[in-house]
Amino acid sequence: MRFIDTLPLYSLVLICLTLGLAPFVPEPHVWEKLKMLVAGDLTRPIDIFDFAFHGLPWVLLAIKLSRISRHGAG
């Protein structure tokens, strides 16, 4: 967890807004893959990789925010 503590919060937010939401049109990949997951259609390896690739920034941001809320900004 030391790695996540060293990541600047603004960097994670920027990565989420760019890579995490790319491509923006017609809809963000992560949103498309979440809908596929709920529908049970997330079966192809490329879709699973795409979901992991675009979802990882959001997971890291959630972990970072959780650690900040528990232990403070320091």
Q: Where are the domains of the chain?
A: 2-71
pLDDT in the model for residue 3: 86
pTM: 0.81
Which residues, other chains included, contact 38 with Cβ-Cβ below 8 Å and sequence gap of 6+?
none
pLDDT in the model for residue 45: 94
Which residues, other chains included, contact 29 with Cβ-Cβ below 8 Å and sequence gap of 6+?
21, 22, 23, 50, 51, 54
Instruction: Per-residue pLDDT tens, the chain, 74 aa: give them.
Output: 788 888 899 999 999 999 888 888 888 888 888 999 999 999 999 989 988 988 999 999 999 999 988 887 65
